[in-house]
Amino acid sequence: MAPKPRRRAQDNERPAPSQDATARCCAPRSTASSLPQGAQLWLFPDLGGLRRALAGRCGETRQMSCARGRLAVLARGGAGVQLHLLRGVAGKPDNIKLEGKMKIYSVDQGAEQMLILSSDGKLFEYNYRIKPTKLPCVLQEKIIIQVACGDYHSLALSKGGELLAWGQNSHGQLGVGGIGHSISTPQTVVHLTGVPVAQISAGEAHSMALSISGNIYSWGRNDLGQLGLGHTDSKDFPSLIEELDKEVEFLTCGGSHTVLLTKDGRVFTFGAGKYGQLGHDSTQNELRPRLVTALFGNRVTQIACGRYHTLAYVSDLGKVFSFGCGSEGQLGNGGTHNQLIPLPMKLPSEELRLENHTSGKELIMIAGENQSILLWMKKENAYVNLRRNIPTLNEKTVKRWNANVGTKQWQNTKREIKEIFSSPACLTGSFLRKRTAAETKSIDLDLNKARDFFKTLTQKDCIANTITTSLRKNLLTNLLLHSPHQEALGVFLLLLECLVIQESDSWDSLVIPFAEAVYKISNEFSEILETYWASLEESAFGKLVQMVKRAIVSCWPQNAGRLFHTKVLLEMLKKLHRVNQTKYKLPENIFNINELTYLLDFDAEASEGRFMPFAVQGGFESSLLPTFNLEVRRSNLVEDVFNQLNRFETENLRKELLVSFSGEIGYDFGGVRTEFFQCIFEEMTQPEYGMFIYPEETSNMWFPVRPKFEKRYFLFGVLCGLSLYNFNVANIPFPLALFKKLLNQTPSLEDLKELSPVLGKCLQMLLDHEGDDFAEVFYIHFHINWDQNYIELIPNGRRIMVDHTNKRDYVSKYVDYIFNTSVKEAYEEFHRGFYRVCDKDIIEIFHPEELREVIIGNADYDWEAFEKNAHYEQGYSRSHPTIIMFWEALHKLTLEEKKKFLVFLTGSDRLPIKGLRNMKITFYCPEIFNENTPMRAQTCFSTLILPKYSTMGRMEEALQLAIKHERGFG
Residue 725 backbone phi and psi in degrees, to 5: -60, -35
Distance between CA atoms of residues 110 and 128, nearest Å:
10
Q: Which of 253, 498, 555, 940 is catalytic?
A: 940
Q: Is 498 a catalytic residue?
A: no
Give residue 933's identity as a one-letter amino acid code.
T
Q: Rg for the chain (alpha carbons), in Å? A: 40
- Residue 782 is inside which H or E element, if any? none
The 10 Å Cβ neighbour count of residue 50 is 22
Q: Three-state SS for 947?
A: coil
Q: Say if strands 153-158 and 257-262 run parallel, antiparallel, or are unpaired.
A: unpaired
- The DSSP call for residue 27 is S
Classify the C-alpha dihedral 791-751-826-688 as positive or negative.
positive
Classify the C-alpha dihedral 181-185-186-189 as positive or negative.
negative
DSSP notation for 182-218: EEEEEEE-GGGTT--EEEEEE-SSEEEEEETTS-EEE
- Residue 100 is inside which H or E element, if any? none
Query: By the 8 A CB rule, do 701 and 733 touch?
Result: yes
Q: Three-state SS for 104?
A: strand
Nearest alpha-carbon partner for 256 in 9, 70, 36: 9
Query: By the 8 A CB rule, do 258 and 269 touch?
Result: yes
β-sheet bridge partners, residue 63: 74
DSSP notation for 130-144: T--SSPPBS-TT--E
Distance between CA atoms of residues 734 and 713, nearest Å:
14
Q: How far apart are the first and last CA of the chain?
A: 88
Query: By the 8 A CB rule, do 720 and 834 touch?
Result: yes
Query: By the 8 A CB rule, do 618 and 560 touch?
Result: yes
| Residue 623, Cβ density class (10 Å: 0-12 exposed, 13-18 middle, ≥19 buried) | middle
- The DSSP call for residue 613 is G
By annotation, the residues acting in catalysis are 940
